[in-house]
Structure 1
């Protein structure tokens, strides 16, 4: 049993489903504003974005918060190696003060491995620095909510003990069940999962393999797939069918929705849905509309 209502993180109701996308990296600010406002009107309570292709995480979050009235904006994630802890601390305090109870600070190590440290050690050090900081800036009435990007047991434990919970990325349903068991009933668990609206198996798997290609060639992700029980031949050569089908849910709307709900049944509080197969510069909005109608994201 969970220790809090579904979709709730430290009193914030993100709903059971949210939107995760890289798409806003490719469009101008005016289109971002228009899109995020439509998503809010559709009933989505949470919008997640990464920090990877140039847009700085906290500035990005602040802009989207300024464009909306109710939606929660979640950094998924802000890279700890992109900025010193004191700047993350100051930015998060300002967003919490300016937009009470609407911003969630997701933190992750991000980027390439750094010599002389490990992601776990780096994250512990960063959290220590954050917790030791004091500021002369006005304190927000409600505190900063933070999540940690986590996959392995030790990072999940750190997320349980030093944050409100964990965000996982590109995992299967079995991992969600294992994560819930490790986190216990009280920590928040958000799961990102890619979806593709394509019913032809050959076309769907070709697009899914292209999406997964960078993750099938990086050491941390390859190690992750091995720990999840995938054989070497399933990881190499673009990914075997079982792996591809587990990590990208494809098919018609009913099929995709049913597979997403499996994460909730396995213990996820919230599923951040990433629609893939969208060309840069185009929008996934038609699919977001369909998902909003099918998933009722405004319900916690």
Structure 2
């Protein structure tokens, strides 16, 4: 079964974009720390060479795309790449699919981003017609924020993998998903000072504040236009990014479990960096890991 077997996962863009040797070493280290899944952003282009490398670097945990944009590969191309995964690791791969963002999709082909919910349905229809290994309903999750995509995730996938949401959203998502798998991501910083934590959090949140998908999601969650202005209000930053010592971060992440999540993908941020650095802060993970297992 490709779904994670435990409550904690590690989400890191660096697993996708850092040099392959560094990513493989980080994957092995994170597996040794006890997380049950590695969530690797799909990014742009074909991620499957990196998926293969992470599967080969680990022995027991799930490796997931979180997410692969449906605009990057056709269902037929995806089927070919899935068939090429190493046989001994294929059962540990979880396919995360999403519709990405209009700015990213239209950057190369203006006007291509159209009717994303319909396009996701069509993509799943074609996958189900081809029936490649690793893409069955029970082996895929959808990046879902709004009610319609959550309903599609419950109907056509094993569940949902929301990003940049709060425990309140998790509770709502659980109600819409029924018994389906739910794995939200929680950004986190091991910084106990509020001013330092919020300053660092804003650097990492900056690119997302202009994305309509997330802005609309936050407005549905009860935030206001004022919360989204000027780098984000303290309220928005504090609700989206868990900060503090390891025990405080784990309590914040555990709020998703209390709200109905099956698995929480922790995205530990670099206090000194920005979203563009794509670091994998293994020292911070070492601090956090002991608290996660207690």
Q: Same fold (TM over 0.5)?
A: yes
Gaps of at least 5 residues in structure 2 are none
More divergent stretch after superposition (126-135 vs 200-209): 126-135
Q: Please say if residues 96 and 144 of structure 1, whose CA atoms lie closer than 8 Å, have aligned partners that are also in contact.
A: no
CA distance in structure 1 between the partners assigned to 2:149 and 2:291 by the alignment: 33
Q: Please say if residues 180 and 267 of structure 1, whose CA atoms lie closer than 8 Å, have aligned partners that are also in contact.
A: yes
Give, in angstroms, the shift of residue 58 of structure 1: 2.0
CA distance in structure 2 between the partners assigned to 1:237 and 1:201 by the alignment: 18
CA distance in structure 2 between the partners assigned to 1:107 and 1:207 by the alignment: 29
Give, in angstroms, the shift of residue 12 of structure 1: 4.1
Higher relative contact order (CA 8 A, sep 6+): 1
> Could you say which residue in structure 2 is the equivalent of 1:296?
293
Of 48, 52, 68, the residue aligned with 2:39 is 48
> Could you say which residue in structure 1 is the equivalent of 2:142?
148
Give, in angstroms, the shift of residue 49 of structure 1: 0.9
Q: Please say if residues 154 and 177 of structure 2, whose CA atoms lie closer than 8 Å, have aligned partners that are also in contact.
A: yes
Q: Please say if residues 137 and 157 of structure 2, whose CA atoms lie closer than 8 Å, have aligned partners that are also in contact.
A: no
Question: In 2 relative to 1, CA 265–128 (structure 1 residues): closer, same or farther, beyond 3 Å?
Answer: same
Are 1:179 and 2:173 an aligned pair?
Answer: yes
Are 1:76 and 2:69 an aligned pair?
Answer: no
Give, in angstroms, the shift of residue 144 of structure 1: 6.8
Give, in angstroms, the shift of residue 261 of structure 1: 0.5
Question: In 2 relative to 1, CA 181–143 (structure 1 residues): closer, same or farther, beyond 3 Å?
Answer: closer
CA distance in structure 1 between the partners assigned to 2:52 and 2:61 by the alignment: 12
Of 197, 200, 203, the residue aligned with 1:210 is 203
Give, in angstroms, the shift of residue 13 of structure 1: 4.1
Q: Please say if residues 14 and 23 of structure 2, whose CA atoms lie closer than 8 Å, have aligned partners that are also in contact.
A: no
Q: Please say if residues 96 and 143 of structure 2, whose CA atoms lie closer than 8 Å, have aligned partners that are also in contact.
A: yes
CA distance in structure 1 between the partners assigned to 2:75 and 2:166 by the alignment: 32
Question: In 2 relative to 1, CA 176–96 (structure 1 residues): closer, same or farther, beyond 3 Å?
Answer: farther
Q: Please say if residues 104 and 145 of structure 1, whose CA atoms lie closer than 8 Å, have aligned partners that are also in contact.
A: yes
CA distance in structure 2 between the partners assigned to 1:176 and 1:85 by the alignment: 29
CA distance in structure 2 between the partners assigned to 1:182 and 1:282 by the alignment: 34
> Could you say which residue in structure 1 is the equivalent of 2:53?
63
More divergent stretch after superposition (242-251 vs 95-104): 95-104
Give, in angstroms, the shift of residue 23 of structure 1: 2.0
Deviations 1:245-294 (A, max 9, x none): 00001111111111110000000000000011254375410111122211
Deviations 1:196-231 (A, max 9, x none): 111111111111111111111122221111111111
Are 1:191 and 2:184 an aligned pair?
Answer: yes
Q: Please say if residues 194 and 274 of structure 1, whose CA atoms lie closer than 8 Å, have aligned partners that are also in contact.
A: yes
CA distance in structure 2 between the partners assigned to 1:12 and 1:179 by the alignment: 18
Q: With the length of structure 1 as denominator, give the TM-score of the two structures.
A: 0.87
Aligned residues: 282
Gaps of at least 5 residues in structure 1 are 1-9
C-alpha RMSD over aligned residues:
2.2
> Could you say which residue in structure 1 is the equivalent of 2:12?
21
Are 1:32 and 2:10 an aligned pair?
Answer: no
Are 1:165 and 2:162 an aligned pair?
Answer: no
